[in-house]
A and B are shown apart, each in its own frame.
Chain A
Amino acid sequence: MSKVVFERPHALTDLQFTYCPGCTHGITHRLVAETLDELGIEGTTVGVAPVGCSVLAYEFFACDMVQAAHGRAPAVATGLKRALPENVVFTYQGDGDLASIGMAETVHAATRGEKITIIFINNAIYGMTGGQLAPTSLPNQVTQTSPFGRNVDNDGFPIRVVEMLSTLDGVALAQRVTMDSPKNVRAAKRAIKKAFEYQIEGAGFTIIEVVSTCPTNWGLSPVDAMQWLRDKMLPYYPLGVYKDIKADGFANVAEAAAARAAELAAGSAAPAEGGEA
């Protein structure tokens, strides 16, 4: 008797991925699809594909899908979620899409506490267009448009997205994960699933940043790319939970924001009461 021990998640179509060998998009797609399967939400989910390497995500996920203009996925997801409040809405975006051209949409969807989930792929480069400087490219990182390395005097500094978003009251969950080991893949899966669960519970805006590889445009083998990710990216982009309002004991972002406002008000009142200058 044969027994199935591994199969394609139902929430993935049977199309072959268009991703390069060693790219972690495939694992991340799978984890999202497994989550849709396990939560039984493929039929009620609408996903939003970005512009970038994962533009064709609308063909790979078996749920209803929308393709959005470059950077606009959080705005499109906002329109979808407001129109379909009972449905689950997620976006799947790369670093150029989310953190450069779409930063305004990202920040404002987050601060509004839109009940959507963003899967954010940070591979420190523009993959689709052939390896240009990204908002998350590391200092001194060589890319097609930083041929002598990212010069922070000229190009500025990389953005740590989940740290920044974690300061916003609308955010229920902001966590950074990676795919470099089975252990970390399992942790990433738990984070992604948690984000969807928080959305379903109406907790607020959720984002999972996935530190990812781009062997093709980094000019490395898949194995070396994983090592580069560990050596270079993880020190700059530390894994971890940057905000988790439920872990802090709140049901939703409104409760968490009210508690934070009270805390800040108390803090600002203290010096005056103490009579300090």
Chain B
Amino acid sequence: MTEKVLMKGNEALAEAAIRAGCRFFFGYPITPQTELAAYMAKRMGKEGGVYLQAESEIAAINMVYGAAGAGKRAMTSSSSPGISLKGEGISYMAGADLPGVIINVQRGGPGLGGIQPSQSDYFQATRATGHGDFHLIVLAPSTVQEMTDYVFRAFDLADEYRTPVMILADGMLGQMMEPVVLPEPKTEFPEKPWAVTGHKGQRSHNIVNSLHLQPERLEETNIERYERYARIKATEQLAEEYLVEDADIVVVAFGASSRIARSAVNKAREKGIKAGLIRPITLWPFPEDVISAAADRAKAFLTVEMNMGQMVDDVRLAVCGRKPVEFYGRAGGIIPTPAETLAAIERLAESLEGGAR
């Protein structure tokens, strides 16, 4: 049975998490994600779960660390400044190999920044959420339906690879309403023999820990984790391709900006410019295979982002100098318009015709 309902992005994230078996949500108020916490506050008790408003973002992520350590599906959500505070706890989760889901409904920065939608936490999500050598799996929805689907998937990925997973959304997706088909509640969950649940005299004590004072041992744990990351890179890269096959100009955009980029690509096609769109769904692992393959055929790339140019670095790494990679973006919480994005595509098309290279 599938039910189609009209939901706000933030609420869809919450409902899908509950259906994915999340019974522990620890939050702290921050715009523009607060509806998520409010929804959880209403729903969790009815599901026999725990909603708790922590004293800080720092406490919230550490509560997730505790509940995840006990083997439960746990989640926290915030927006950009709050995610910075969670960075420490996320690093500890990665170091202790704890699964868990962190939602970032981004707003503009740095500092207190603003409260309008942004994608300026791309670096933070994919490069340096906290200290030490680690990655998160990062999923970037572009519709309310995808908010629902990806958070549902995020819990499975987190358990499968024993890693924290981040949903990188933004204030536009969090606040918009769209019809969604909600997933059937999950009823079967993986065993977690490593969890701290009390040994009941049946086994030696389990320890959830990220401390390894012997350098050789610490290096071993890093190497093992990166072997897992290699498996993730090999199997979990995900991107949507739209009109890429014959495209001269491949626009690369994720999340909210991919919606504008898609309109701009359509308009460019109407004007006779062969444009296409690659929409990375996994920001880490970055879908470098798809971008690299496109670099064989396309003439140039244009990334469209709601920041000063962050994902463009990953596109350049994947293209590896074979084709020009340009950037167009707006920052500060401003959403680029389809018309100005089209203009950026047209400028790039002209420069190619003009024999710029």
Report which A residues bind B (CB closer than 8 A).
13, 42-46, 48, 55-56, 58-59, 61-69, 72, 75-84, 87, 104-105, 107-108
Q: Assess the B62–A79 pair: CB atoms within 8 A.
A: yes
Which of chain A's residues have a CB closer than 8 A to the CB of B205? 13, 61-65
Q: Assess the A67–B207 pair: CB atoms within 8 A.
A: yes
**Nearest-CB residue, chain B, relative to A89:** B66
Q: Assess the A79–B201 pair: CB atoms within 8 A.
A: no
Of the candidates B59, B65, B198, B211, the one whose C-beta lies within 8 Å of that of A63 is: B198
**Nearest-CB residue, chain B, relative to A59:** B207
Q: Assess the A78–B207 pair: CB atoms within 8 A.
A: no
**Nearest-CB residue, chain A, relative to B211:** A67
Q: Assess the B96–A45 pair: CB atoms within 8 A.
A: no
Q: Assess the B198–A45 pair: CB atoms within 8 A.
A: yes
Given the known interface contacts A45-B198, A82-B52, A83-B24, the answer about A76 and B65 at a Cβ–Cβ threshold of 8 Å is: yes
Which of chain B's residues have a CB closer than 8 A to the CB of A48? 66
Q: Assess the B65–A46 pair: CB atoms within 8 A.
A: no
**Segment among B2-10, B68-76, B327-335 that sits at the interface with chain A:** B68-76
Cβ-closest 8 pairs across A and B = A79-B66, A75-B62, A79-B63, A108-B55, A83-B70, A64-B196, A79-B67, A75-B59
Q: Assess the A75–B210 pair: CB atoms within 8 A.
A: no
**Nearest-CB residue, chain B, relative to A63:** B205
Q: Indicate whether B197 reaches chain A with its CB closer than 8 angstroms.
A: yes
Which of chain A's residues have a CB closer than 8 A to the CB of B208? 65-67
Name 22 A/B residue pairs within 8 A (Cβ), A-sorted. A42-B201, A43-B201, A59-B207, A62-B205, A63-B205, A64-B196, A64-B197, A65-B196, A65-B205, A67-B211, A72-B89, A76-B66, A80-B67, A82-B67, A83-B67, A83-B74, A87-B197, A87-B198, A104-B58, A105-B55, A105-B58, A108-B54
- B5 to nearest A CB, angstroms? 29
- Tell me the chain B residues, 314-332 only, with Cβ under 8 Å from chain A: none
Interface centre among B52, B66, B96, B196 (most CB of A within 10 A): B66
Q: Assess the A43–B198 pair: CB atoms within 8 A.
A: yes
A48→B74 CA distance, assembly (Å): 18
Interface centre among A59, A75, A87 (most CB of B within 10 A): A75
Q: Indicate whether B26 reaches chain A with its CB closer than 8 angstroms.
A: yes
Q: Assess the B199–A64 pair: CB atoms within 8 A.
A: yes
Number of chain B residues whose Cβ lies closer than 8 Å to a Cβ of chain A? 41
Q: Assess the A75–B197 pair: CB atoms within 8 A.
A: no
- A89 to nearest B CB, angstroms? 8
- Tell me the chain B residues, 105-150 only, with Cβ under 8 Å from chain A: none
- A185 to nearest B CB, angstroms? 26
Of the candidates B56, B89, B200, B210, the one whose C-beta lies within 8 Å of that of A67 is: B210
**Nearest-CB residue, chain A, relative to B72:** A83
Q: Indicate whether B351 reaches chain A with its CB closer than 8 angstroms.
A: no
Of the candidates A56, A66, A108, the one whose C-beta lies within 8 Å of that of B69 is: A66
Given the known interface contacts A58-B209, A83-B72, A104-B59, the answer about A75 and B199 at a Cβ–Cβ threshold of 8 Å is: no
Q: Assess the B69–A105 pair: CB atoms within 8 A.
A: no
- B209 to nearest A CB, angstroms? 4
Of the candidates A68, A76, A79, A107, the one whose C-beta lies within 8 Å of that of B24 is: A79
- Tell me the chain B residues, 208-222 only, with Cβ under 8 Å from chain A: 208-211
Of the candidates A45, A55, A62, A80, the one whose C-beta lies within 8 Å of that of B66 is: A80
Of the candidates A58, A75, A107, the one whose C-beta lies within 8 Å of that of B54 is: A75
Q: Assess the A43–B200 pair: CB atoms within 8 A.
A: yes
Q: Indicate whether B92 reaches chain A with its CB closer than 8 angstroms.
A: yes
Which of chain B's residues have a CB closer than 8 A to the CB of A75? 54, 58-60, 62-63, 65-66
Which of chain B's residues have a CB closer than 8 A to the CB of A65? 196, 205-209
**Nearest-CB residue, chain A, relative to B209:** A67
**Nearest-CB residue, chain B, relative to A104:** B55
A83→B63 CA distance, assembly (Å): 10
- Tell me the chain B residues, 32-59 only, with Cβ under 8 Å from chain A: 50, 52, 54-56, 58-59
A68→B58 CA distance, assembly (Å): 12
Which of chain A's residues have a CB closer than 8 A to the CB of B204? 62
**Nearest-CB residue, chain A, relative to B88:** A69
Q: Indicate whether B64 reaches chain A with its CB closer than 8 angstroms.
A: yes
Q: Assess the A80–B69 pair: CB atoms within 8 A.
A: yes
| Other 9 A-B pairs with CB < 8 A, given A44-B200, A46-B196, A63-B198 | A42-B199, A55-B211, A56-B211, A61-B205, A68-B65, A75-B62, A76-B63, A82-B24, A83-B71
- A79 to nearest B CB, angstroms? 2
Q: Assess the A64–B63 pair: CB atoms within 8 A.
A: no
Which of chain B's residues have a CB closer than 8 A to the CB of A43? 198-202
Which of chain B's residues have a CB closer than 8 A to the CB of A68? 62, 65, 92
A107→B204 CA distance, assembly (Å): 33
Which of chain A's residues have a CB closer than 8 A to the CB of B88? 69
Given the known interface contacts A43-B200, A79-B26, A84-B197, the answer about A69 and B62 at a Cβ–Cβ threshold of 8 Å is: yes
- A19 to nearest B CB, angstroms? 15
Which of chain B's residues have a CB closer than 8 A to the CB of A104? 55-56, 58-59
Which of chain B's residues have a CB closer than 8 A to the CB of A56? 211
A55→B56 CA distance, assembly (Å): 24
Q: Assess the B63–A78 pair: CB atoms within 8 A.
A: yes
Of the candidates A64, A69, A77, A79, the one whose C-beta lies within 8 Å of that of B207 is: A64
Which of chain B's residues have a CB closer than 8 A to the CB of A105? 55, 58-59, 62
A76→B202 CA distance, assembly (Å): 24
- A103 to nearest B CB, angstroms? 10
A45→B211 CA distance, assembly (Å): 21
A75→B76 CA distance, assembly (Å): 13
A69→B52 CA distance, assembly (Å): 20
Which of chain B's residues have a CB closer than 8 A to the CB of A58? 207, 209
Q: Assess the B196–A80 pair: CB atoms within 8 A.
A: yes
- A81 to nearest B CB, angstroms? 8
